[in-house]
Chains A and B, each alone.
Chain A
Amino acid sequence: MTAALSADRLEVVFDRFRALKGVSLEVQSGESFGLVGESGSGKSTLLRAIAGLAPAASGSITVNGKKLGKRRDKAFYREVQMVFQDPYGSLHPRQTVDRLLQEPLAIHGFADGEKRIQRALDEVGLGTGFRFRYSHQLSGGQRQRVAIARALILEPAILLLDEPTSALDASVQAEVLNLLEDIRRRRKLTFLMVSHDLAIITHMCERLMVMQNGEAVEHLTADDLVERRVSKDYTRNLLRASDGFVRA
């Protein structure tokens, strides 16, 4: 297996604050990899640095064996796509679903837009009836499906998922998680997924990295987490917290 995505001693600095302190990770092709931690742990920053949305101060990122330079070429943005946490904020409020999906196609110069839009909408279970609606006419779950369709329409190999279901109701969350799993299986995608919810990560990912204060605390497999084979107190605390409230 080859590494689809790797980061080596990645460092992100905002003003003088070190949001990411030399974090390394390697995601194999076709794997689903999870990042967990509390807010401020740097998990989203790591994802954004890989996507090119946060400036890397030092360290390197490699995608499919190619090291990324200062300016990323168009091929990178075709290969790697991102789905954001808040479906209410990540879709253009004055564009129809059709227009939203056309944008990436126009940027990358795809000719068969018509067919691709139909296929992408079918794939996320929306159907063409939703094609000419605005995002405010959709529910949260439907919006997140549009965001997933927009990411898939360029046929990427790697999907970066930043808390894709935390703004959704539990029943809708199940639907979106099932959709993501299904798409990954069919398209043999590589996932890098951020969540604060350990249960979601163990459900979706094979391996994961626990983060705290911009550093990697430990690397685990999903089975380690299920069997509670964790070595750091921080991870243990997260595990305990996910069991719910216990009266003292």
Chain B
Amino acid sequence: MSTLLEVDDLRVTFPTRTGRIEAVRGVSFSLGRERLGIVGESGSGKSQTGRAIMGLTPPQAEVTASKLAFDGTDLLAASPRDRRAMRGKRIAMILQDPKYSLDPVMSIGRQIVETLRTHEKVGKAEARDRALAMLEAVQIREPARVFDLHPHEVSGGMGQRAMIAMMLIAGPEMMIADEPTSALDVTVQLDVLGILDRLVSERGMGLIFISHDLRLVSSFCDRVIVMYAGKVVEQLKASELGRAQHPYTRGLLNCMPKIGADRHPLPVLDRKPEWAA
């Protein structure tokens, strides 16, 4: 398996009034053309890891790594111009809530066309045709109608499909999905995941799936990284989640209510300071 992304000792530091805060503290992993899940609770640094790879860390923060390479290109040494060309074209990102991540004053079709024409030289008519085909690929039933709608006129599930269409139209090799389904209803969630799954495997893309939902991630991904306090505490195959070693992973799995499991009170997580060490 060819390696798409190599991350070694990634650190993201934010300067604050009370000192420097390390949001990500030495994260290392590599990604091939596979589905990798990054799981953790709020503040674990999972989103900042994704943003650092994408190059979307806020300017005041500092990103260091002994290696951060995408397909052989050193991302930290690349010029802002090169990174911009890469974003959207080769690495794409899906965000959590389509309500906030789509442009509210631009029709969905125009946003998709904009992405395409930023990265490829295509005529208006062709761009429109490809956008419509892409909307169809994400199982939007009336692509021509949805093309002209604005984000506030569509449901959350539809908006997220449009977002996936927009991200996939330039044919990226790697996709980072940051909580792509957390804002959606459970049944819609599965539809969107199904679409994502099909498109990612058809196109042979690498996927980083960031989520707080350990069970969802393990049912969707091939491999899972568990983060706690800015560090990776465990890396395992999704199918072997039941055999997780780290007490944090086990606690996280355990504390969720399950249908049919009569556990009163629910086991709670007993956080140990050494986990963060």
Contacts and interface: CB of A to CB of B under 8 A. Distances in A.
A153 B214 CA distance: 36
Contacts of B220: 244-245
B169 to A, nearest CB: 23
B78 interface: no
Interface stretch (B14-22, B106-114, B119-127, B251-259): B251-259
A203 B267 CA distance: 13
Contacts of A247: 197
A38 B185 CA distance: 6
Interface stretch (B3-11, B62-70, B171-179, B188-196): B188-196
From B186, B213, B260, residue with most partner A Cβ within 10 Å: B186
A203 B259 CA distance: 7
Tell me if A's interface is mostly helix, strand, loop or mixed: helix
B194 A241 contact: no
Interface string A213-248: 000000000000110000000000111011011111
Contact of B216 (A173, A197, A225, A244): A244
User: What's the interface size class on B, roughly?
Assistant: 35 or more
B266 A174 contact: yes
B186 A170 contact: no
A197 B263 CA distance: 17
Given A177-B266, A178-B268, A245-B190, A170 B219 contact: no
A196 B181 CA distance: 14
A170 B219 CA distance: 17
B59 interface: no
Nearest to A169: B41
A182 interface: yes
B118 interface: no
A171 B41 contact: yes
Interface in A164-183: 169-175, 177-178, 181-182
Nearest to B218: A244
Contact of A170 (B194, B197, B252): B252
B269 A226 contact: no
Contact of B258 (A39, A140, A199): A199
A198 interface: yes
A62 interface: no
B259 A199 contact: yes
B185 A170 contact: no
Interface string A29-41: 0000000001100
Residue of B190, B255, B257, B271 contacting most chain A CB atoms (<10 Å): B257
A49 B2 CA distance: 57
B72 interface: no
B79 interface: no
A102 interface: no
Nearest to A168: B42
Contacts of B41: 169-172
B258 to A, nearest CB: 6
B235 to A, nearest CB: 20
Nearest to B216: A244
Nearest to A200: B257
B187 interface: yes
A204 to B, nearest CB: 8
Contacts of B161: none
A248 B260 CA distance: 25
B187 A245 contact: no
A125 to B, nearest CB: 11
A178 B266 contact: yes
A61 B13 CA distance: 54
6 contacts: A173-B256, A181-B264, A200-B257, A226-B259, A244-B219, A245-B220
Interface of A: 38-39, 140, 169-175, 177-178, 181-182, 196-200, 202-204, 225-226, 237-239, 241-242, 244-248
Going nearest first, the 8 A-B pairs with the smallest beta carbon separation are: A203-B257, A171-B269, A174-B255, A244-B219, A241-B186, A178-B265, A169-B41, A38-B185
Interface of B: 41-42, 156, 185-190, 193-194, 197-198, 212-216, 218-220, 251-252, 255-260, 263-269, 271
